[in-house]
Amino acid sequence: MRKRLYEIIEAAQEDDKFSAAYDWFMMAAILISILPLAFHKVNAGFILIDRITVVIFIIDYILRLLTADLKLKKGAASFVLYPITPMAIIDLVSILPSLTILHGGFRLLRIFRLLRTFKAFRAFKIIRYSKSINMIIDVIKMQRKSLGTVAGLTVAYVAFSALVIFNVEPQSFDTFFEAFYWAMVSLATVGYGDIYPVTTVGRIVTIVSSVLGIAIVALPAGIITAGFMELLREQSEAAPAAPAADAAESAGEQPDD
């Protein structure tokens, strides 16, 4: 019973209709739950939505906790370790801000009103139920070394550009943080215009920083695209292999005389 429950709430076989229905149901609940965040005023309808969706999230959290050993495969320790896993923390943070609505009479729970801002975390719960997002996460994991190298290069370049402009044009940048902020904005070619160089040398540094920034910003996109295409190719090659293996196994089984 618990195993079947685990297969439904977690990613199961492609043809598992109950698991697919559960995923779609949870995605709908998540999207509906964050709908009130788009409005400043709270009305009775939004409160009702919050009450219903938080009950759904609490049930989902309890079900996942009850099947934690099947997910983490660490025996009884799984029930202790599961609440501190990243997705479980996101689940809990998305639930806590609504407890004041369900239990308004408890003064102690009023402190959770400070956490209402974290209701936006409900949007991250959708990661668990979206196969496309999970594929992107897998690609990032596959390309983590390359992306880490690019991230290191980016930080080094921004720090170097900030150091150069901070010394070339000290009258425009009071602190190194302002120079670092300028370098990051220039790297991204955003150009807010709130901090900018006024000397010729400073503007030349800005031109060079912006041009090189385009190349650095483009690197992660190319790495992720290449990894995504590689993952799709591996999946397309693995898909026909499974039926072929099953057919070969069936052909090898001969009935007893």
Chain-centre distance of CA 6, in angstroms?
22
- pTM of the shown model: 0.56
Q: Which regions of the chain carry the CATH code 1.10.287.70?
A: 140-240
What is the DSSP code string of 107-175?
GGGGGGGGGGGGGGGGGGGHHHH-HHHHHHHHHHHHTHHHHHHHHHHHHHHHHHHHHHHHHH-TTT-SS
Residue ranges, comma separated, of all CATH 1.20.120 domains in the chain are 2-129
Contact 224, 143 (CB under 8 A): yes
CATH of domain 2-129: 1.20.120
pLDDT tens, residue by residue, 43-75: 889 889 988 998 999 999 999 999 999 888 888
Position with higher pLDDT, 28 vs 117 = 28
User: How confident is the model over 184-239, as pLDDT tens digits?
Assistant: 888 877 777 788 888 888 889 888 888 888 888 788 888 888 887 887 787 777 76
pLDDT digits (tens, 9 = 90+) for 90-133: 888 888 777 765 554 544 444 444 455 555 566 677 777 777 77
CATH class of the structural domain 140-240: mainly alpha
CA distance 17 to 97: 32
**Alpha-helical regions (H) of the chain:** 2-9, 17-33, 44-66, 68-72, 78-81, 86-95, 99-102, 126-129, 131-142, 144-168, 176-187, 200-252
Per-residue pLDDT at 84 exceeds 90: yes
